[in-house]
């Protein structure tokens, strides 16, 4: 459709029309017609002053067309115009300075980015097929120089390489003695490795044992999934879920936003639909934000639904008093969750029972809260290669004795064992029981010990008021009062926020010296 022009006054009017890829600027100057032409009565925007096109002298009998483009704009009703088109004004080009890369603000960070980093495959494959191939090539002397990752090969293989190299080089008597010692050490390592393989055990740290339990259960049951903050490619705050996202994908190992009430409720809903989610709280103190979901939904939903829904969900995470982690990151929530009906609670203290309790909690049809202590993750222990599980309602006899029964759990187990060494030197024979099951209590194992020793000492890291020790003491009094020869003593943490200072932090937690003094007082 051709543009239609409205009557104009004696000053330029700019009309922008598209011509090809460019926009065409048209400056039109014309005198108003003697009579109104209805064909030209179209809407005209308000005229604006232009600095590019200065006004020309008025012409009464003609309409002057100023074209600001090399292309000519031909309008039928202006074909009689004889004015030549004015040339397009040339704008002054702005000279730009050549681009120069700015140096990084932090020079050392800039250099670190330029360094070549190892590939993720080599970084992850410490014990995989690449490491096995490297260790197999180390048996030849020629492959010694090219085998840089020494950690991938066993110590026996490295010693055998040195033995072969020394024998080939024709060393002297001193080197011969060194070769002989290395050969003997290599045989000893091989014998120890064979003995370990025959016994069917392997050493794992506690967080590695938890990870192994997750891997085994996720391989056995496709409904098992993990969700929480940074549990995916980051591997969790304490690396319990490291590598699970690569093995099982992002759908079964789900990274969630920082909203504990959200992903805890999502885990409860997934359990209602038939999945077996493992919900990880980055810290047990953060799960206070999900207390409504844990209490009203997770614990009570099986009862309030008349048994229509089962909630096989595991809620786990690190907790306890660490090393100057502050009050908010040193929470002990056992006393918070023990009053929730329908909820089971267990606390692991060794890599062996950590793996066994994790597997049992995943297979349970009830919601289970697994308490892990932040200072026990690097505890190493030899666990069997065969599959095993630990009973969720059974205590563990740590040390049999005759004089006094010491009931404890989690990190305080090691404080009690340290105090037991001192007590043995003083002539006492304490019996140590790791209760493990915080709800319900294993009253069978506890009762048999009380019937033998007739004295009870409870040691816990939880708060004194309303803690696990108070509930356990009440249960013992209700069931085994007639077997007691002395009042029950309970050593708990102080009812104060955990201080940040190390000396004050130790003062709020039970120490081995306090345990020794309490046993001496009970056995008087």
Distance between CA atoms of 259 and 329, rounded to whole angstroms? 17
The single residue listed with the structure tokens 């409870």 is 458
Instruction: Check if the beta carbon of residue 193 is closer than 8 Å to that of residue 166.
Output: no
Distance between CA atoms of 207 and 235, rounded to whole angstroms? 11
- Length of the chain, please? 524
Q: Quickly count: other Cβ atoms within 10 Å of residue 287's Cβ.
A: 26
Instruction: Determine the 3-state secondary structure of 225 from DSSP.
Output: strand
Q: Which long-range contacts (CB under 8 A, 24 or more apart) does 97-100 make?
A: none
Instruction: Determine the 3-state secondary structure of 376 from DSSP.
Output: helix
Q: Quickly count: other Cβ atoms within 10 Å of residue 116's Cβ.
A: 5
- Give the C-alpha distances (Å, rounded to integers) separating 394 from 133, 439, 452, 473, 480: 44, 10, 19, 18, 18
- Give the C-alpha distances (Å, rounded to integers) separating 369 from 46, 167, 286, 358, 439: 75, 59, 14, 10, 10
Peptide bond into 440 cis (omega under 30): yes
Distance between CA atoms of 209 and 238, rounded to whole angstroms? 13
Q: Where are the alpha helices (DSSP H) in 79-119?
A: 107-114
Give the residue from 127, 140, 139 showing the smallest Cα distance to 212.
Answer: 127
* Residue 382, both tokens: 């030899």
- Just list the catalytic residues: 260, 329
Give the residue from 397, 469, 476 showing the smallest Cα distance to 433.
Answer: 397
Give the residue from 232, 274, 238 showing the smallest Cα distance to 251.
Answer: 232
* Dihedral sign computed on CA atoms, order 286, 290, 294, 296: positive
Report the DSSP beta bridge partners of residue 225: 277
């Amino acid at each position: 459709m051709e543009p239609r022009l409205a009557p104009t006054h004696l000053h330029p009017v700019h009309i922008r029309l598209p011509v090809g890829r460019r926009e065409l600027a048209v400056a039109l100057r014309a005198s108003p017609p003697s009579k109104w032409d209805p064909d030209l009565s179209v809407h005209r925007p308000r005229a604006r002053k232009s600095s590019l096109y200065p006004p020309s002298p008025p012409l009464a009998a003609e309409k002057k067309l100023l074209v600001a483009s090399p292309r000519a704009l031909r309008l039928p009703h202006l074909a009689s115009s004889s004015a030549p088109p004015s040339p397009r004004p040339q704008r002054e080009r702005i000279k730009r300075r050549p681009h120069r890369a700015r140096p990084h603000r932090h020079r050392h960070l800039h250099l670190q980015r330029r360094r070549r980093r190892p590939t993720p495959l080599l970084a992850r494959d410490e014990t995989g097929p690449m490491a096995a191939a490297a260790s197999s090539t180390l048996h030849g002397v020629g492959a010694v120089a090219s085998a840089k990752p020494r950690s991938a090969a066993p110590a026996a293989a490295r010693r055998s390489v040195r033995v072969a190299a020394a024998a080939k080089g024709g060393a002297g008597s001193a080197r011969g003695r060194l070769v002989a010692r290395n050969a003997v050490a290599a045989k000893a390592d091989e014998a120890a490795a064979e003995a370990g393989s025959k016994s069917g055990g392997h050493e794992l740290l506690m967080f590695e044992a938890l990870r192994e339990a997750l891997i085994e259960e996720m391989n056995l049951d496709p409904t098992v999934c993990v969700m929480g903050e940074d549990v995916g490619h980051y591997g969790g705050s304490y690396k319990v879920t490291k590598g699970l996202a690569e093995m099982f994908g992002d759908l079964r190992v789900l990274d969630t936003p920082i909203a504990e009430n959200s992903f805890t409720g999502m885990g409860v809903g997934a359990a209602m639909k038939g999945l077996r989610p493992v919900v990880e709280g980055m810290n047990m103190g953060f799960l206070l934000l999900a207390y409504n979901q844990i209490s009203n939904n997770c614990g009570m939903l099986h009862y309030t639904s008349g048994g229509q829904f089962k909630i096989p969900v595991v809620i786990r995470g690190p907790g306890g008093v660490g090393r100057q982690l502050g009050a908010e990151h040193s929470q002990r929530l056992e006393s918070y969750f023990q009053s929730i009906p329908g909820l089971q609670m267990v606390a692991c203290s060794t890599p062996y029972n950590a793996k066994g309790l994790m597997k049992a909690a995943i297979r349970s049809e009830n919601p289970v809260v697994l308490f892990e202590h932040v200072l026990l993750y690097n505890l190493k222990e030899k666990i069997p290669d065969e599959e095993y599980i630990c009973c969720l309602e059974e205590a563990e006899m740590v040390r049999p004795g005759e004089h006094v029964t010491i009931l404890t759990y989690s990190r305080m187990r090691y404080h009690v064992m340290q105090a037991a060494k001192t007590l043995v030197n003083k002539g006492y024979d304490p019996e140590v029981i790791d209760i493990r099951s915080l709800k319900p209590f294993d009253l069978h194992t506890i009762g048999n010990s009380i019937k033998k020793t007739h004295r009870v000492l409870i040691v816990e890291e939880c708060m004194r008021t309303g803690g696990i020790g108070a509930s356990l003491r009440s249960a013992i009094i209700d069931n085994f009062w007639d077997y007691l020869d002395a009042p029950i003593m309970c050593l708990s943490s102080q009812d104060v926020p955990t201080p940040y200072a190390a000396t004050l932090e130790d003062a709020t937690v039970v120490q081995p010296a306090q345990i020794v003094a309490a046993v001496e007082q009970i056995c008087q």
